[in-house]
Amino acid sequence: MHIVYAQGNDLTIVERINDVIINPILIFLFAAALLIFFWGIVEFIGGMESEEKRSTGKRHIFWGIIGMFIMFAVWAIIRVISGTIAGI
């Protein structure tokens, strides 16, 4: 089975691996980080009377943002690598 562009060019093995394996994993991890971020917001707002709950919410917000940043950076690095390999 070949994946074909409109012009008829076959995808390289690197592009196939990126489309089939890496992108779904990155999307899943980005969604998990986003879920942690929103859960932190809910904890922070819901726990206004408790310093411990607000602190837990802040940690979840922080790590959610860090996780989203890492997933975006990995995605950008992979795009640069696949673009470089495809240009060779």
> Would you say residue 1 has pLDDT above 60?
no
Domain total of the chain: 1
- Residue 40 domain-assigned? yes
- Residue 1 domain-assigned? no
Range of the domain at 44: 21-87
Its pTM stands at 0.76
Q: What is the dihedral of CA 47, 53, 56, 61, to 10 degrees?
A: 10
> Which pLDDT tens digit goes with each residue over 43-66?
999 988 999 999 999 999 999 999
- Residue 29 domain-assigned? yes
Identify the band that residue 3 occupies on the pLDDT scale cut at 50, 70 and 90. Answer: low
Burial class (CB in 10 A: 0-12, 13-18, 19+), 64: buried
- Residue 9 domain-assigned? no
Percent of the chain with pLDDT over 90: 59
Burial class (CB in 10 A: 0-12, 13-18, 19+), 88: exposed
> Would you say residue 5 has pLDDT above 60?
no
Identify the band that residue 81 occupies on the pLDDT scale cut at 50, 70 and 90. Answer: confident
- Residue 5 domain-assigned? no
Q: Are 58 and 40 in contact (CB under 8 A)?
A: yes
